[in-house]
Structure 1
Amino acid sequence: MMAATVVVLLHAYLYFRLVRDVLPERRWRLVGLLVLVLLAFSTVAAVAVGREIRPELGIPLSWAGYLWIVFGLYTALALLVLELPRALLRRRLDPSRRTALARLLTGAAALFAAGTVGFGVTQARRPRLVRREITLDRLDPALDGMTIAALSDVHVGTINRRPFLRDVVTQVNDARPDLVAIVGDLVDGSVEQLGDIVEALSGLDAPAFFVTGNHEYFSGADDWCEFLTGIGVRVLRNERVAVGRRGAPPGSATLDLAGIDDRTAARSGEAGHAPNLAGALAGRDESRPVVLLAHQPVMVDQAAGRGVDLQISGHTHGGQFLPMGYVVLLDQPVLAGLTRVGRTWLYVTRGVGFWGPPVRVGAPPEITLLTLRAP
């Protein structure tokens, strides 16, 4: 309901500034209104299309609907900034010049929006490798330099297809991590729709581990857990495993890698799904460090309370495009990067892909290579 209200208010404002103020003739205003209504519906259709039909059939509609909504948003933001100078100038102008002023400001706002969206599209399709080092107090010196490649929010679906995922796999393999952590929101669609694309993850050279994100619970989480297990990705559902350096002989130093279901799992309707951190950590040797995979950063309070050394999360997309980060921070403690809660480190990756608009502004996508250091 809130999203629908925002869409209606956005298009109402755009009607007044892009149509009514710019087009003096009534018939052209009606045409402009009809165009805005169709564009609004294209956005609604883009959200629904991947869930109702095969995603590849909705590619043109998804691009059109999603690009329009973010273009409209940036146009509206630019026009809002121009409201004060517009109001001051209008007092000194006759009606004909007021129309000319409205057209000038509308053109400027549209150019700003087009440039911003164009830049954001180029950024969204180019995830970069980000390297960070984290010192864990309990890390065995033999594991100093161990690396974890963190992937989140790939959002394979209508727009992010096989070539995109294959490029991600290639970048990860080139970084030669000891293990790969896929921390949720891998897909936007069912196994039937997207399984042949996601199978590209079988090309990862390092051992790969996965925990569910909220979007898996829109797409058949049980089916995806079974599918990923079948292609060699270990699914961690409120459990932990001992992991060490890639290729190390038996008996080498290890740490605990734990993973929990997403925060939304309990109300998803998927039987038996719910986050259970206590269960994942029960009976562990507390002299060993534990790294937790949890899709949403907000789980860090629980992690800190149970002595987790490092939590790796995604979900936020780093805000994806300005100013959406301010909305995300209403629900999550941090947008991106490394922070500390008590003695627990939290790393929030901006994610590999995007949800909705194929646009990234101020939040470039990342493949994260975390290097663990002993004190």
Structure 2
Amino acid sequence: MVVLVVLFAVVVVAVMVAAHWYVWRRLVRDVSRPKSVWRRTGTVLIYVFPLCAVGAQATARSGAPFTVQQAVAWPGYLWLACLLYLLIALAVGELVRPLLRAALRRRDARAAGTGPAEPVAAEEREPSRTGARTDAEPPAAEPGSAGPASAVPEAEHAPAPSRRLFVARAVGVGAAVAAGATVGTGAWGVLNGPTLKHVTVPLAKLPRRGHGYRIAVVSDIHLGPVLGRAHTQRIVDRINGAQPDLVAIVGDLVDGSVENLGAAAEPLGTLRARHGSYFVTGNHEYFGDAREWIDHVRELGVHPMENVRKELPWFDLAGVNDLAGEDQDEGPDYDKALGGRDTSRASVLLAHQPVMIHDAVDHGVDLQLSGHTHGGQMWPVNYLAALENPTLAGLERYGETQLYVTRGAGAWGPPVRVGAESDVTIVELASKQA
């Protein structure tokens, strides 16, 4: 097992080194002159940003001062998102590069009236490994040389960049702009707060008087070094503005300790709902002290649902601990939460991970509310997330049980979402008798 872990770590490091070298080559070396400001600055940054990304994980796990965690988390996590989309944009650029170079050769050939495009000049080839000068660094004039060009100002007779250099710069700038715009838009979507979604879920056992009951479902808030109190307040404002009957917080509230993040969670104490607010643990709560957070949310007026059931006027509300709690002997207990109930009543189960739907089906649950997936958070990661979860986002039916998965209201790692908008969902229960 240790050998596999070490091998996996070596592969990850090798892939990351190769990715950063490729980005440096295309965005720094290929587009700049040796010893230029951009060459020096880009080379420094290609070391600093990944070190910040590693530092973001290391400081969080080592319990470093929270201000230090925040200082490295922002540049480190944002760089990971930038790296992903730079690699995608540069990969597309590899397809565009030869087409653009060929188009420029044809244009130059037509302008010169020489007919078919000529072969690529020697000055456009890749720089020599022997240290020969490149087209980006023209040879200096011989001392004492004279000629027609010497009488012309330097700015007028300096050779224009070659087609290869022009293409490299065009593709590099295009990739940087595309990646920056994607990450910037995705970060704004997270920091601006979740959107409010509405979903109607019919329940066969729900009585007529329960028709139109509204549950605000929020998950994956992920309070931490990046997302703090202001983020919580935006979510609370969205929920209170919708005036739900009940609030369900279905896990992954935090990434850190109560000492560092207790104040960030305080706005949860101002949630307003007719039948109160309820909370079940997610896997991230068990990365730290889950018991500490369970006690803290209780102090804020949010009711923890630790493998328990509560009878509400028109249905049973149950909650189970996350699967990650099994390592601490605090895993889900469906018999405790759902056993011995009146099966003629409708039931709603709060469970963080969608994969828990199979146990919910076995226990005759009518509706399970989950999060965990983030909807994939950043394309194309959603394809990997879909392989690990029965439902990535939205409403699906499994036999007689329905599963609704929210995309979550925050973000883990990079505070960026692409193709998976954050949300708070108002689930409106509908009675078939209405």
Q: How many residue pairs were aligned?
A: 363
> Who is 1:236 aligned against?
305
Task: Give the 5 Å matches for 1:1-375.
Answer: 1=9, 4=13, 6-23=15-32, 25=34, 32-51=42-61, 52-87=63-98, 93=120, 94-95=124-125, 96=135, 97-125=163-191, 126-206=193-273, 207-243=276-312, 253-267=313-327, 270=328, 272-375=329-432
Between the aligned partners of 1:35 and 1:56, the Cα distance in structure 2 is: 22
1:299-352 Cα offsets, whole Å, 9 max, x none, are 112212222111111111111121111121121122211111112111111111
Runs of at least 5 residues in structure 1 that lack an aligned partner in the other structure: 244-252
- Counterpart residue identity of residue 153, structure 1: D
Runs of at least 5 residues in structure 2 that lack an aligned partner in the other structure: 1-8, 103-118, 126-134, 136-162
Identity of aligned residues (%): 44
How big is the shift at 1:30?
A: 7.2
Between the aligned partners of 1:7 and 1:291, the Cα distance in structure 2 is: 44
| Higher-RCO chain (CA-CA 8 Å, sequence separation at least 6) | 1
How big is the shift at 1:70?
A: 0.9
1:127-153 Cα offsets, whole Å, 9 max, x none, are 111111100111121111111111101
Contact 2:280–2:304 (CA<8 Å) still a contact in 1?
yes
Compare 342-351 and 196-205 and name the one that shifted more: 196-205
Contact 2:307–2:318 (CA<8 Å) still a contact in 1?
yes
> Who is 1:249 aligned against?
none
Between the aligned partners of 2:35 and 2:236, the Cα distance in structure 1 is: 55
Greater Rg over alpha carbons, structure: 2
How big is the shift at 1:196?
A: 2.0
1:172-221 Cα offsets, whole Å, 9 max, x none, are 12211111100000011111111122122111122111111111011210
Between the aligned partners of 2:266 and 2:228, the Cα distance in structure 1 is: 11
Distance verdict in 2 for CA 1:274–1:176, change over 3 Å: same
Compare 59-68 and 347-356 and name the one that shifted more: 59-68
Contact 1:47–1:356 (CA<8 Å) still a contact in 2?
no
Contact 2:372–2:408 (CA<8 Å) still a contact in 1?
yes
Secondary structure in structure 1 of the residue aligned to 2:31: coil
How big is the shift at 1:258?
A: 1.2
Contact 1:54–1:193 (CA<8 Å) still a contact in 2?
no
- Counterpart residue identity of residue 321, structure 1: M
Could you tell me the TM-score, scaled by structure 2's length? Answer: 0.78
Contact 1:256–1:291 (CA<8 Å) still a contact in 2?
yes
How big is the shift at 1:29?
A: 6.0
Could you tell me the TM-score, scaled by structure 1's length? Answer: 0.90
How big is the shift at 1:87?
A: 4.3
Between the aligned partners of 2:291 and 2:336, the Cα distance in structure 1 is: 19
Contact 2:229–2:266 (CA<8 Å) still a contact in 1?
no
Distance verdict in 2 for CA 1:234–1:20, change over 3 Å: same
> Who is 2:108 aligned against?
none
What CA RMSD, in Å, does the superposition of the two structures yield over aligned residues?
2.1
